[in-house]
A and B are shown apart, each in its own frame.
Chain A
Amino acid sequence: MKNYLNCETTIWSWLSTKDHKRIGVMFLVSVTLFLLVGGVFALILRLEHLTPGPTLVSPNMYNQLFTLHGVVMVWLFLIPAIPAGFGNFFLPIMLGAKDVAFPRLNLASLYIFWIGAILTIYGVLDRAADTGWTFYPPYSSQTYTKATPVLLGVFVLGWSTIITGVNFITTIHTLRAKGMRFMDMPLFAWALYGVSIIQILGTPVLGIILLMVVMDHSFDWGLFDPARGGDPLIYQHLFWFYSHPAVYIMILPPMGVVSEIVTSMAHKNPLSYKAIAYSTFGIAFVGFLTWGHHMFTSGMSELNAGIFGILSMGVAVFSAIKVFTWTGTLYRGSVWIRTPLVYIFAFLFLFIFGGMTGVAVAATSLDVHWHDTYFVVAHFHFIMVGASLTAFLAALHYWWPKITGKMYFEGWGVAGAILVFLGFVGTFFPQFLLGNAGMPRRYYHYSEQFQALNVLSTAGSWVLALGLLLVLVTLIWSLVAGEKAPANPWNSRSYEWMTPSPPPKENFPETPRFVRGPYDYHLPLEPP
């Protein structure tokens, strides 16, 4: 049967496609590639910390490596991964649409992403930036390394995410199937709506502020140089106005994934659809009011520190609503424990852990102790890797049959999930202890007494890498040897499972009629 994969097969048909599914697949392949690149940087960093002194790389290279690890992971993997990859693929299908609102712009966003990625990678090859992914001036204005291509690369990548955001919101507003109200949409669409708001309102501020740093670095404008009357804190305000909400760009789509998988695997409607949908907006909005908690120790005013500290804790309320709703959904469901759900269990555990430590560092007095230590590193890795990456892997397994038309190997999948979880905890849990004991982040050397925990962390990173490698190899192998996937392997009621696997070019064989909601598990499953 003709589907979106085999309707045309030339390379040009892929490069010039306006099909949102193909664009989504190309995004997925790209971000997976960058996950590997960023992962290799991380492995070298961990290896360097095997011993307190020099182990493998020079001090300068160490600075460059942690910068590039951050830049690649944040802007080339975490931010585009779920929205631009899975979002592009599934949003129109979930709405019963044939495509996103602006298909040509959608393709443009892919090319802009590639251009930005090439600029960034070019900056990696030749005297890579050593500023940290936060590019704080005045250092970033003065570094001898080539910060400019990396900064410009991130600026260009920003436009890719803005276009994706504009496209998603317009699609949700104008292309829902006949009769589908907002409250009938699958929850993943709500998550994408929330993330698009942040992408549209936050990303441009990052763009402009990075351009200012480019001007500072290349043309010596001195806007943020205290020696010339500048105020570096203004940079930090503007940078975190984007980069804190960016954390929610990384976590809201995973939350959408969790909502989908939990309901599908529990075969039960969500405990409260509205709670999940509305709390998405709560997070998107309050997330914009918390940026100052990155600046508690930078000399910001005490009034602002107080305001931002209290507001930061507010985010936890909405996150907690979601967590309780998910666990409540699992309760008394007819739960199928498959690989995606195993990842979701990991997600829930790690997300709660990362979130609770987040509430702790939002308290100004505690933050003074933990700021710029490994405690903070561990905290945000629990959210970004522990939650976002596991949700990405969950989504990959959950939707793999739909995207490729092949089933992954269940046993290997579960094995991979367990390895990833163990590796992750092994890598990052010791870092909480290290940070609390006072080991600062971004330092090349560390004191002898920290070595035992660092060795543990490094060993954990190998297990994590092994797990990811296992996932990659078995998934690729399943393309060759996997069983053919049925249209609806999970007996899910969500709309993307109503079309064959893989879907035809127009998404549905005929114009879909959605006569029931996406979570109506009390109704019998109609044949696809």
Chain B
Amino acid sequence: MNEGRSSLKTIAITYAVLYLLVVGNLVVALAGVSGFWALFVAVSIAGLQTLVVALFSMELLRSRRSIGVVAVVAPLFVLLLVCLTVVDVYTRQPPPLEVPPVDRSLPSPPP
């Protein structure tokens, strides 16, 4: 079982990395990165932090495999939901919220 202790050293390193990542995220934002890359970097850093928290603070590394499966499957489904929905928004033709106003005038009489 996983009732062994994580050493103080592991805890120290874990949180040092987490603080550093927070600072890194902040620096990237303050440096003025924008557009797609800003989103990509910000979410990647958050994902990396999640990985660190899950593996060390939540002791995933020392848990049984059944718990590992849960921890892998749930984020997968989150991604699935978010991605397929956003793909729909990006690929709709025409974008429904920008549909041109309908022409409500009467058709011109035949000549």
Contact = CB atoms under 8 A, between A and B. Distances in A.
Interface stretch (A51-59, A138-146, A225-233): A225-233
Given A234-B85, A237-B85, A301-B88, A289 B80 contact: yes
Interface in B57-111: 66, 73-74, 77, 80-81, 84-85, 87-93, 96-97
Interface string A198-221: 000100010000000000000000
Given A173-B66, A241-B81, A304-B84, A233 B97 contact: no
Contact of A301 (B81, B93, B97): B93
Interface string A290-307: 001000000111111001
Given A173-B66, A233-B96, A288-B80, A300 B73 contact: no
Contacts of B93: 301-302
Nearest to A232: B96
Q: What 4 A-B pairs are tightest by C-beta distance, nearest first?
A: A301-B91, A301-B92, A303-B91, A304-B88
A197 B72 CA distance: 13
Binding site secondary structure of chain A: helix
B92 A299 contact: yes
Contacts of B87: 301, 303-304
Given A201-B73, A201-B74, A288-B77, A237 B88 contact: yes
A138 to B, nearest CB: 13
A173 B65 CA distance: 11
Contact of B91 (A237, A289, A302): A302
Given A197-B73, A299-B96, A301-B91, 15 more contacts: A173-B66, A201-B74, A226-B96, A234-B85, A237-B81, A241-B81, A292-B84, A299-B92, A301-B88, A301-B92, A301-B93, A303-B87, A304-B88, A304-B91, A307-B84
Nearest to B91: A301
24 contacts: A173-B66, A201-B77, A205-B81, A226-B96, A231-B89, A231-B96, A231-B97, A233-B96, A234-B85, A237-B84, A238-B81, A238-B85, A288-B80, A289-B80, A299-B92, A299-B96, A300-B92, A301-B87, A301-B90, A302-B91, A302-B93, A304-B84, A304-B91, A307-B84
Contacts of B85: 234, 237-238
Nearest to A237: B85
A300 B88 contact: yes
Most buried by A among B74, B80, B81, B87: B81
Contacts of B89: 231, 234
Nearest to A202: B77
Contact of B97 (A229, A237, A302): A229
A314 to B, nearest CB: 15
Most buried by A among B74, B77, B87, B90: B77
Contacts of A292: 84, 88
A303 B85 CA distance: 12
A197 to B, nearest CB: 8
A194 to B, nearest CB: 13
B43 to A, nearest CB: 19
Nearest to A170: B66
Interface in A86-118: none
A234 B97 CA distance: 12
B80 A226 contact: no
A341 B85 CA distance: 43
Contacts of A205: 81
A238 B85 CA distance: 8
Contacts of B73: 197, 201
Contacts of A229: 97
Contacts of A197: 73
Interface in A275-294: 288-289, 292
Nearest to A197: B73
A173 B97 CA distance: 48
Nearest to A226: B97
